Structure 1
Amino acid sequence: MGDALRVGLVGAGQISGAYLSTLPRLPGVVLTKVADLDSDRAVAAAARVPEAVAVTPDELFAADDVDLVLNLTVPKAHAQVALAAIAEGKHVYGEKPLAADTGQAKALLNAAGQAGVRIGCAPDTVLGTGIQTARAALDAGEIGRPVAATAFMTTPGHERWHPAPEFYYRSGGGPLLDMGPYYLTALVTLLGPVRRVVGMSAAPQKTRVIGSGARAGTRFPVEVDTHVTGVFEHADGVLCTLMMSFDVWQANLPRIEVYGTHGSLSVPDPNGFDGTVAISHPGRDGWTELPKYGGYADAARGFGLADMARAIADGTAHRANGELAYHVLDVMESLLVSAQVGLAVDVASTCARPAPVPLGARPDEA
């Protein structure tokens, strides 16, 4: 695929460690620059990759040896950083969500289109063997026609383990915007785009307490709803029941299940790349584990970036793309609006299902 895509990483916070572990083994990409508002943190991150050099954000955006900006900043900064990169003619691949709201996200997509650069966005977990095996089973008609689905993400809250969790509870945070992208990207990959939503939400706790690290015991306010539930109607009529919560201590619930006219499919945690996919058919007791049918093997954070690098070089579509991320954000925003107004809300956007990842594919080939 020719020369590697040169990557500049902005935002050397907690999630950057996962990317820094993966980037050196990804085909078609090389990390050249690292930037953070905390220069010491940028230096420490750059030291993990021999080719990388720590710089300021402005220096990174203007650097001749950066083709793509990997945007790992906090959600409220996603659009600002991405627009700065696009203004310098760089492609952008960012952490989820695409932006803090659909207005910012639309401006971002428009700017990229005008500049002739590409937008990619996490999560890329859907490219692993877990979700791709489930997709292959559905596409092969293993459970007949899908009729309904469920998706549950429940936890007591990230303040138990995160040393600086306040941003999870401010505008742009909450369980839906934080974890919803994993589940919704998986659901759209499996079942196609969403056309209508109905939702309800609540904030049972008005403050939270940091549970670990140097600031343990610090109390901070909650500014967003922390328990969100709703129903999605996919474009082909499948109804999905969703619950995203930072208020549940224990729950005996599946991550994702899809129910069809001839069986049910158990889908693994969409926050991971692999996991067990199981199927249940009428007249048979229990669940049967399926072999791997598709997906990048041994995938980790950043495989979507490598998939994007290959697509840029080949002039083809990349899978973890901006249109998909925009639709996911639009669905989440529509669900929150529905919860506020007490009415069903039509989702204005749509997107195509990304191409499946064949079993045994490599991100520089598939």
Structure 2
Amino acid sequence: MGDAHRIGVVGLGVISRAYLDTLAGHPGVRVTAVADLDAGRSASVAAGLPGARALTVEELLSSPDVDTVLNLTIPAAHAGIALGAVTRGKHVYGEKPLATTVDDARAVLSAAAAAGVGVGCAPDTVLGTGIQTARAAVEAGTIGRPQFATAVMVTPGHERWHPQPDFYYAPGGGPLLDMGPYYLASLVHLLGPVRSVTGASSRLRTERVIGSGPRAGERIPVEVDSHVSGVLEHAGGALTTITTSFDGAATTAAPIEVHGDAGTLSVPDPNHFDGEVRLFALGGTGWRTLPPSAGYAEGARGVGLLDFVTADGLRAPRASGDLALHVLEAMTALLRSSAEGRRIELTTTAPRPAAVPLTPAGRWRARARPAPR
């Protein structure tokens, strides 16, 4: 890589700790600047990162010592920060979603193309051994020709544990936009891009009760549907039935199952990097666990950013802006399909990212040093 790639981090909330654990001390990158609306927090984080400066957001976006902006702000700020970075000639890699609307996401990618810079976006959990081993099994023909898949995410709602859960039930929230990026990105890796969607949704109740923290017992309004189901038609012909819900107590369903004419794969939780991939072969008598055969072993938040900054022109970054835009359109189209009662053809597509070969943790971590707490 030559000189270390210089990273500036905007947004120093809880998720930033996971990223800094991966990036701090990595020989391929160097965190040179951090910024947060809380100047005290910026100063505290910078003090624990040798060579990093605490800057304002505007100073960081304009800094000549930053090559890529790592955008860890709240979703409502994602597009604004990304546009501020790319229009100043900087690459940007952000937390999901790329933006809260398809139009804003398109604007980010258009501005980046005009500026000649790159855009990457989480989730990068799909680059771990869980999803990548499942993908390798599909591509090897282990289940024959894929016919259909199921994807299920069911919880009773985040207000039971989150002390400030309002945004989960406000416009831009809900179970699909919250957790859907993990499932949709995984399904593109497994089965390819989505051609069309048909959705249905419902709202169990109009209020939720906060279950923890200083606001415990307070009622908050539910402004979005809390249960979303749909069918995704993949470009290759396979169909996925997806359910995301804040209205169920629990489920025994596998997070993702892929069914082919020669067997079925049980795929682990796409919100984690690893997990068991299990195969039930047609005519078999039970499930068999497949050993990890692909992916970044012991993956951690930030591996997608490392993949992004080391893409060498021979391949696109795996956690790309194009994939993030396609996933965002699929999710918003499901919600629009439910509201309008019709099947919707997508206007975007994204090639399946390059598969990740089995990569030992020691190789991609390269002696990264955990960030100070």
**TM-score interval for Structure 1 and Structure 2 normalised by the shorter chain:** over 0.9
* SS across alignment from 1:113: helix
What amino acid is aligned across from residue 83 of structure 1 in structure 2? L
Residue in structure 1 matched with residue 18 of structure 2 by the alignment: 18
Residue in structure 1 matched with residue 183 of structure 2 by the alignment: 183
Residue in structure 2 matched with residue 333 of structure 1 by the alignment: 332
CA contact (8 A) 2:262 2:281 kept: yes
In the alignment, the residues of structure 2 paired with residue 214 and residue 46 of structure 1 have an alpha-carbon distance, to the nearest angstrom, of 30
What amino acid is aligned across from residue 165 of structure 2 in structure 1? P
Residues 1:140 and 2:158 are matched in the alignment: no
CA contact (8 A) 2:96 2:122 kept: yes
Residue in structure 1 matched with residue 205 of structure 2 by the alignment: 205
In the alignment, the residues of structure 2 paired with residue 38 and residue 60 of structure 1 have an alpha-carbon distance, to the nearest angstrom, of 14
Task: Report the alpha carbon displacement of residue 154 of structure 1 after superposing the two structures with TM.
Answer: 0.8
In the alignment, the residues of structure 1 paired with residue 211 and residue 81 of structure 2 have an alpha-carbon distance, to the nearest angstrom, of 30
Task: Report the alpha carbon displacement of residue 364 of structure 1 after superposing the two structures with TM.
Answer: 8.9
* SS across alignment from 1:15: helix
Task: Report the alpha carbon displacement of residue 251 of structure 1 after superposing the two structures with TM.
Answer: 1.5
Residue in structure 2 matched with residue 345 of structure 1 by the alignment: 344
Residue in structure 1 matched with residue 165 of structure 2 by the alignment: 165
CA contact (8 A) 2:125 2:182 kept: yes
Percent of aligned pairs sharing the same letter: 59
CA contact (8 A) 2:22 2:365 kept: no
Q: Deviations over 1:339-358 (max 9, x none)?
A: 00111111111110000011
Equivalences for residues 18-97 of structure 1 within 5 A: 18-24=18-24, 26-97=26-97
Task: Report the alpha carbon displacement of residue 75 of structure 1 after superposing the two structures with TM.
Answer: 1.0
In the alignment, the residues of structure 1 paired with residue 355 and residue 23 of structure 2 have an alpha-carbon distance, to the nearest angstrom, of 23
Equivalences for residues 229-268 of structure 1 within 5 A: 229-268=229-268
Q: TM-score, normalised by structure 2?
A: 0.94
CA contact (8 A) 2:152 2:253 kept: yes
In the alignment, the residues of structure 2 paired with residue 39 and residue 235 of structure 1 have an alpha-carbon distance, to the nearest angstrom, of 47
* SS across alignment from 2:78: helix
In the alignment, the residues of structure 2 paired with residue 26 and residue 180 of structure 1 have an alpha-carbon distance, to the nearest angstrom, of 30
In the alignment, the residues of structure 1 paired with residue 365 and residue 249 of structure 2 have an alpha-carbon distance, to the nearest angstrom, of 41
Equivalences for residues 260-279 of structure 1 within 5 A: 260-279=260-279
Query: Are residues 182 and 144 of structure 1, via their aligned partners in 2, closer, same or farther at CA, if it must alter by over 3 Å?
Result: same
What amino acid is aligned across from residue 52 of structure 1 in structure 2? A
* SS across alignment from 2:14: coil
In the alignment, the residues of structure 1 paired with residue 157 and residue 306 of structure 2 have an alpha-carbon distance, to the nearest angstrom, of 32
Aligned residues: 364
In the alignment, the residues of structure 2 paired with residue 157 and residue 259 of structure 1 have an alpha-carbon distance, to the nearest angstrom, of 29
What amino acid is aligned across from residue 45 of structure 1 in structure 2? V
Residue in structure 2 matched with residue 101 of structure 1 by the alignment: 101
Task: Report the alpha carbon displacement of residue 27 of structure 1 after superposing the two structures with TM.
Answer: 4.8
What amino acid is aligned across from residue 326 of structure 1 in structure 2? L
Task: Report the alpha carbon displacement of residue 276 of structure 1 after superposing the two structures with TM.
Answer: 0.3
Residues 1:357 and 2:356 are matched in the alignment: yes
* SS across alignment from 1:44: helix
Residue in structure 2 matched with residue 154 of structure 1 by the alignment: 154
Q: Deviations over 1:241-286 (max 9, x none)?
A: 1000111112211100000000000100000001000100122122
Q: Deviations over 1:287-340 (max 9, x none)?
A: 1000111001111000000001101x5564211001111100010011111000
> Relative to structure 2, which stretch is displaced further, 112-121 or 34-43?
34-43
Equivalences for residues 302-321 of structure 1 within 5 A: 302-311=302-311, 316-321=315-320
Structure 1: give runs of 5+ residues left out of the alignment: none
Residue in structure 1 matched with residue 370 of structure 2 by the alignment: none
Structure 2: give runs of 5+ residues left out of the alignment: 367-373
CA contact (8 A) 1:265 1:278 kept: yes
Q: TM-score, normalised by structure 1?
A: 0.96
CA contact (8 A) 1:26 1:303 kept: no
What amino acid is aligned across from residue 339 of structure 2 in structure 1? Q
* SS across alignment from 2:199: strand
* SS across alignment from 2:310: helix
Query: Are residues 38 and 207 of structure 1, via their aligned partners in 2, closer, same or farther at CA, if it must alter by over 3 Å?
Result: farther
> Relative to structure 2, which stretch is displaced further, 23-32 or 170-179?
23-32
Q: Deviations over 1:141-178 (max 9, x none)?
A: 00000001000011111222223222222222111111
CA contact (8 A) 1:27 1:364 kept: no
CA contact (8 A) 1:200 1:336 kept: yes
> Relative to structure 2, which stretch is displaced further, 7-16 or 190-199?
7-16
CA contact (8 A) 1:306 1:364 kept: no
In the alignment, the residues of structure 2 paired with residue 364 and residue 62 of structure 1 have an alpha-carbon distance, to the nearest angstrom, of 29
In the alignment, the residues of structure 2 paired with residue 95 and residue 191 of structure 1 have an alpha-carbon distance, to the nearest angstrom, of 23
In the alignment, the residues of structure 2 paired with residue 2 and residue 192 of structure 1 have an alpha-carbon distance, to the nearest angstrom, of 34
Task: Report the alpha carbon displacement of residue 25 of structure 1 after superposing the two structures with TM.
Answer: 5.2
Q: Deviations over 1:172-199 (max 9, x none)?
A: 2111111000000000011000101111
Residue in structure 1 matched with residue 369 of structure 2 by the alignment: none
In the alignment, the residues of structure 2 paired with residue 11 and residue 185 of structure 1 have an alpha-carbon distance, to the nearest angstrom, of 24
Query: Are residues 305 and 222 of structure 1, via their aligned partners in 2, closer, same or farther at CA, if it must alter by over 3 Å?
Result: same
Q: Deviations over 1:90-135 (max 9, x none)?
A: 1000000110010000001000000011000000011111111000
